[in-house]
Structure formats: C-alpha cells, structure tokens
Structure 1
Amino acid sequence: MEPRSSQTRVEPDGVPRKTPAAGLAAGLPPSVLRDGPECEVIIADARWHGVVPGVAALVRRTALAAWAGTGPAAVTIALDNDRTIRRLNARHRDRNKPTNVLTFEYPGDYPGEHAGGPTGGDIMIALETVRREAQAAGRPIRHHLAHLVVHGILHLRGHDHHQAGEARRMEMAEARILGRLSVPNPWKYRAGIAGGEQ
C-alpha cells in the first residue's frame, strides 16, 4: 500500500510553532525560507534519535525544501511509533493498523492562511513501519524518512495519488525534490518491496 493522506481536516491542538529561521541551521538558503512554512519537528518517540542521527534537522530541511515557493504555512511533523499511528489511522480512516505516514490538513480558516494557497497541517510518521519498509527496500532509513516527509508535504500542497495520472505526477515531484536533497529516486526501489510500500 502506498502512503496515504487521511484527507481529514482537523483543528491544530495547541502545538507551539517555531519560525522557519531554524532552516538556516539546516543549510537552506534565505530565498527558500522567505516563502516557506513555519516548521515544527516533534520527536514523540525518542528511539528516532538512535535510528536516524540528526533526525530533527533532516526532517526540517526536507520539509522546507519540499514546501519551497508555495507560500507561508504552519507545518508540524511528529515522529512517533506504530501504536500511535495505528490509533490515529483507526480513528480518522477506519483502518485499524499502522501506516507509514498520515497527513492532516488544517482547515481553510486557520490563522496564517494566505489567499489561494495551502494552509499547512500536521504530518505523523511511524518509526517501526518506516524501519520495516526501508529494510525491505534495501534503502537507508534516512532516505525513506525524507521520502515520506516530502510525500506528506506534497499532500498538503494539494497533490494526491488516487488515480494513475495524479500518482505519476506526485511520484515525479517527489523524485525531483529528493534529487535536490541528494536522496536517490525512491521509485527505483519499488521492486524491493512486495506490493509497494506498506
């Protein structure tokens, strides 16, 4: 199963936001940050630190690069575990199993919305599922994590993959963004995962 967006609009629940200035430390040029989102990375499961060294900086840099040029928004990326993601997947998508990434778009009237553009949202990523998928595909976990961050951001930017044409456009956008971050094209690894990504 490919990563899926929940397509559920939820209210943000009081998570503090930071400015994209933190992206300067991640090596992004000011031109990218000027129009980028406020990006908060929450490490909800501390095991992420041992699995992906420098994980917060990697996720922030990837998210800001994926958002580049689409205008300001607030994005929170929570790195959690299968148990939490399974509970959210059951609640919001009626699927009582973990998945790799869930994307929740903020409502259109969220403060900070700009005319005609995405408002941002929350992206949740499950540690054990990401680790299993990366291992099955023979990819470094940090590359698979970067792919899922880009995937979630593209959902917030309006991309989807429910039909073949839109799925192909989304895959090409993912490959372009990841290429700029020196991450190999994830779709070249597809054959390594039976039935696609879980």
Structure 2
Amino acid sequence: MDITIVLAAPGWRAAVKRPEALARQAAEAALRESGAAGAITVLLADDATVRRLNSDHRAKAKPTNVLSFPGGMPGHLGDIALALGVVRREARQNGRRPADHLAHLVAHGALHLAGHDHLEAGEARRMEQAEARVMRRLGRPNPWKEGSAATRRSAP
C-alpha cells in the first residue's frame, strides 16, 4: 500500500508514541477493511493548518479533528489531515488515549476515501461497524461500544 505520512506538527510525538507508524497501520487496516487500493497521504498537522484547510475547502473557519480530501488522479485515493490540538482535547474529554483516538480518526478518514459516509443512519451504522472492525484489528478499543465515551463527529 502506498501510504505517506507527513508529520507537520512535531507535538504529535509528545502526544502519541510513534505517530507516523500508528497512522500508517490505521490507514492500511482501513483500506484492507474496505477492499480499496490506492495512494493516501496523511498529514499530522496543528490546529492552525487544519483550520486553514477547513476554511479553504469547507468554508468553516475552525479546526476540526479530521478532514478527508478525495484524490483527483487515478490511483490516488486522497489525503487526510488531522489537527493535533483538537485530537488531544477530544481524547481528554472522552477519556480516551490520544493514540486510540488518532488511530480511529485515521481509519475514519481512510474509510471516507474508500467510499464510506455517515450522512444517513444506515450509512453511519455501516461506517461505525467498519471502524470498529479496524480498531479490533489494531488491538484498540471500539469507539462505538456501549458505555464508551466516544462521541459522534460532524466532520467528514
């Protein structure tokens, strides 16, 4: 699999042990789950960078946890960007380890690039189930399990 990880915010290393390796594993597991193939780039950025991307591409002038941008060329599934500050805050608020939240959000973004969505109830449930299977493969907690502190995201 052709997965490139770009560490643009060094603070990721303080928040998560080996963030590049974890992001790669999560993206690979999501692609295997979906049966999709193609190149993906994962940008581990800061909040300001993701706020700018969110403003430029979605007209929302605020950072969000994860953004997915479908690729425009054959063989390129697309790009994923994650905001360190948002990921840390959400993990803390939901009683999750930042590494588990990072893995979940990378899987979420990769599943979007593979064609999953969560706009309607049935789609959302199928995507949540795929995310749970990916997290199980990674040996990480199911973010949707009853009693978990995970919250639904509005970001794509």
Alignment pair present for 1:50 and 2:14: yes
Consecutive unaligned residues of structure 2, counting only runs of 5 or more, are: none
Partner-residue secondary structure (3-state), 2:144? helix
Change over 3 Å in CA distance of 1:137–1:40 after alignment to 2: same
Structure 2 residue 79 is matched with structure 1 residue 122: yes
Distance 1:99 1:55 in 2: 18
Q: Percent identity at matched positions?
A: 48
Offset of 1:191 from its aligned partner? Answer: 6.3
For 2:68, the equivalent position in structure 1 comes to 103
Aligned to 1:18: none
- Could you tell me the TM-score, scaled by structure 1's length? 0.72
Q: Does 1:175 align with 2:132?
A: yes
Aligned to 1:150: 107
Residue 62 (structure 1) aligned with residue 26 (structure 2): yes
Contact 1:102 1:125 in 2 (8 A): yes
Other-structure match for 2:54:
89
Aligned-partner residue type, residue 81 of structure 1: D
Which runs of no fewer than 5 residues in structure 1 stay unpaired?
1-36, 114-118
Please, what is the CA RMSD of the aligned residues?
1.8
Q: Which amino acid aligns with 1:56?
A: E
Equivalences for residues 9-48 of structure 1 within 5 A: 37-48=1-12
Q: Secondary structure at the match of 1:95?
A: coil
1:163 aligns with 2:120: yes
C-alpha spacing 1:189/1:45, structure 2 compared with 1 (3 Å): farther
Displacement of 1:192: 3.4
Alpha-carbon offset, residue 53 of structure 1 = 1.2
2:94 to 126, 137, 140: 137
Give the match's secondary structure for 2:42: strand
Aligned residues: 153
Query: Does residue 75 of structure 1 match 2:75?
Result: no
Deviation at residue 71 of structure 1 after TM alignment: 4.6
Instruction: Give the match's secondary structure for 1:188.
Output: coil
Shift of 1:130: 0.2
Distance in 1 separating the partners of 2:88 and 2:69: 22
Structure showing greater radius of gyration is 1
1:190 CA displacement? 7.5
Distance across 2 between alignment mates of 1:157 and 1:123? 12
- Aligned to 1:124, what secondary structure does the other structure show? strand
Q: For 1:176-198, what per-residue CA distance to the aligned partner results, in whole angstroms no more than 9, with x for missing partners?
A: 111111111101378636x7447
Equivalents in 1 of 2:138, 2:146: separation in Å?
Answer: 17
CA distance in 2, matches of 1:189, 1:95: 31
